[in-house]
Amino acid sequence: MTIVLGIESTAHTFGVAVVRNGKILSNVGRSYTTEKGGIIPLEAAKHHQENKREIYFEALESSEIDEKEIDAIAISQGPGLAPCLLEGMRFAKELAKKFGKPIVPVNHCIAHLEIGRITGARDPVMLYVSGANTQIIAYASGKFRVFGETLDIGVGNFIDNFARYIGIGFPGGPVIQKLAKGGKKFIELPYTVKGMDIALSGILTNLKQKLESKKYTLKDLAYSMQETVFAMLVETAERALAHTGKKELLLGGGVACNSRLQEMCKIMCKERGAKFFCPKNFLLVDNAAMIAFLGEIMLKKGIKIQGKFIEKPDIKPRQRTDDVEIKWK
C-alpha cells in the first residue's frame, strides 16, 4: 500500500491531496482570484504562503490518514510562475524532511494528462487547454510529444484577456461561457490553424476592434469567439488523431470545463469512431490530486529523491512536456 501526498502551486491554486493506491482520499485547494484584472504572481504566491498550512491540515483530516503514514511528497515542479512554484517546493521539502520521506518531482502538464487514466483512457491524444497552455499531446517512443500547440497565447489566457477587456475579473472563462449561451448571431472572426498549431492573438485584436465598433452585442461576440476558437481546437485534435492513429481523445486543463467545447469534441469523436474521455471538473482545473496520482505511479517505479539529496529538486518554471523522460510507462 502506498500513500502519496501531492502539492500543487504552479499558478493561481494552492492544493494538497492524498492518494492511496490510485484512489483520491482527499483533494483540497484554494485559488487566488481577482475582481478586476489578471493574476499577479507575487500576490498569488502570498496567497499560497498564507493558506498552505490550513489546506494541508484540511487535506490530511479529510483523508483520515495520519501524517506519519505518508510514503512520499509529490510536488508540481513546473511549468508555472516562479514565485508560486517556490512556495510549493519549500513546503514539500519542509514536509519531506520532517517525515524523512522522499520527494517525487512531477511535471504539471503530464499530471493533467495522466489523471485521465481515472476515466479509463489508456493511450489518448490529449487536448490540453488551460490558461497558459494549449497543446495537443500524445505518447510516442518514450516521451509525451507535443504534436501541436498555440503559437502565441494559451486559450485560457486568451479568454481571460478578452474577459478583462470587458471588465470581468479572473478567471473569465466561466462568465464568458454564460454570456455565449445567450448569443444568437454568429459573427465571422479570423480562423487561424496552421497544421496542428493554432494562433490566437489576431483573433483577440479583432474581437476588441469589433467590441469598440459597438456594432455587436457582447453575447454574440462571446458565442462567436467560442464557436470559432473551439472549432480550431477540435480541428487540430482531429488531425492529431488521424496522424497518430490513436483512438481516444482526452480533455484536460481548466478550459475543458466548458460544456460547449466538450460537446464539440464529443461530436468529432463520434463521427470518426474514437472514444471521448473527460475527467470531472475538479480534475480538469489545477488540482493537487493529479500531482499525487502521478507521483504515486512514479514512486512505484522508483522515481524519487531522498536522504542527502532532499534539497536538490528545484522548480522548473519553463519545463516543457517533451523534456520529461517518461520512465514509468
Query: Least distance (Å) from ligand ATP to the CB of residue 177?
Result: 4
Among 29, 131, 148, 295, binds ligand ATP (CB under 6 A): 131
Sign of the alpha-carbon torsion through 75, 76, 81, 82: positive
| H-run or E-run covering 322 | none
* Backbone φ, ψ for residue 5 (5° rounding): -100, 130
Tell me: does residue 108 bind ligand ATP (CB under 6 A). yes
Cβ proximity to ligand ATP, 19 vs 179, nearer residue: 179
Q: How far apart are CA 129 and CA 291, in angstroms?
A: 17
Query: Least distance (Å) from ligand ATP to the CB of residue 70?
Result: 25
Query: Least distance (Å) from ligand ATP to the CB of residue 91?
Result: 18
Cβ proximity to Fe ion, 224 vs 319, nearer residue: 319
Query: Least distance (Å) from Fe ion to the CB of residue 254?
Result: 7
Q: Do the Cβ atoms of 273 and 247 come closer than 8 Å?
A: yes
Query: Least distance (Å) from ligand ATP to the CB of residue 300?
Result: 24
| H-run or E-run covering 149 | strand 143-149
Give the DSSP letter string of 162-207.
HHHHTT--B--HHHHHHHHHT--S-------EETTEE--HHHHHHH
Tell me: does residue 268 bind ligand ATP (CB under 6 A). no
Cβ proximity to ligand ATP, 128 vs 139, nearer residue: 128
Among 160, 197, 238, 248, binds ligand ATP (CB under 6 A): 160
Among 124, 148, 171, 279, binds ligand ATP (CB under 6 A): 171
3-class secondary structure, 9: coil
Tell me: does residue 116 bind ligand ATP (CB under 6 A). no
Residue ranges that bind Fe ion, judged by CB under 5 A: 130, 286
Q: How far apart are CA 114 and CA 105, in angstroms?
A: 14
Q: How far apart are CA 9 and CA 98, in angstroms?
A: 20
Q: Which stretch binds ligand ATP (CB under 6 A): 92-100, 118-126, 253-261, 305-313?
A: 253-261
Query: Least distance (Å) from ligand ATP to the CB of residue 302?
Result: 27
CB atoms within 10 A of CB 115: 23
Q: Which residues of the shown chain bind ligand ATP in the complex (CB under 6 A)?
A: 10-12, 80, 108, 130-133, 156, 159-160, 171-174, 177, 253-255, 257-258, 285-286
